[in-house]
Structure 1
């Protein structure tokens, strides 16, 4: 009886040890698979991040090239007749210079020059617009109003 009991205990211990080892190896396999999936996700995420960074860098380079195409300050070669100018309420006529920011009041439809071809101006780069300020025309960013170029004395 003692031998049977000992043999049974040994068998139970052996199966539990093997079962635990099998479960541990299965768990480690699952962990490896999970880690591999995470690594692939991280790689894809890094690739997308790199693509976005490259795209933004290309956009900045194009914007810089567009800005270089325009001189910062130009004297108009010819003067054009235009309707009388009235500054926005609370503002006076002033001269603007490169790097300043125009208030949003100036960037409304009343002051934006949409028929730039009629006045001998080139098409503004994407994200920029011509804005009239007194007798001058200013090339300013649509979003923030940053002035890129000033064309002085375009209007009578």
Structure 2
């Protein structure tokens, strides 16, 4: 009888531990499935965030291009003379020829001696900012820095 009781007790303990192991195993499988779902959701959210970032980047680029075009149009309008004036014959400084100046170039100091336009209001020009003056170069007027001669703006075709 002892053998039978021992075998029965061993069977009860074995089935109990199997049941516990299977419950723990089922719980761990459930957690693994849940982890996989969470990972999938994280990847979806990451892709959605990336998509939103790309959209925002494209929108920012579009806005930048639009602003650049508006600035370029405004700059072009300011560059062309709306009216032409008679100011007499133009002779360039000794050693120089008539040429087209553009933004960012340096005007030689010989231009700032006899070619400065002091009566800018007579030609429909606004007062130059402090440290700048208008200089005539051919049929154009150049807004240049007094100190270094850096060309800030060119008003093309102001004179006949």
Is 1:73–1:151's contact at 8 Å kept on the other side of the alignment? yes
Greater share of helix residues, 1 or 2? Answer: 2
Distance 1:102 1:61, change over 3 A: same
What is residue 41 of structure 1 aligned with on the other side?
49
Q: Distance in 2 between matches of 1:121 and 1:11?
A: 96
Pairwise CA RMSD: 4.1
**Across the two proteins, how many residue pairs are aligned to each other?**
120
Question: Structure 1 stretches of 5 or more lacking a match?
Answer: 80-94, 104-115, 123-130
Give the Cα separation in 2 of the matches to 1:14 and 1:24: 15
Q: Secondary structure at the match of 2:63?
A: helix
Partner residue, 2:129: none
Unaligned runs of 5+ in 2: 1-8, 88-97, 107-119, 127-131, 145-149
Structure ranking higher on relative contact order (CA contacts 8 Å, 6+ apart): 1
Matches within 5 A, 1:74-93: 77-78=85-86
Matches within 5 A, 1:1-156: 1-69=9-77, 77-78=85-86, 97-101=100-104, 119-121=123-125, 131-135=132-136, 137-138=141-142, 147-151=152-156
1:24–1:146: structure 2 CA closer, same or farther, 3 Å change rule?
farther
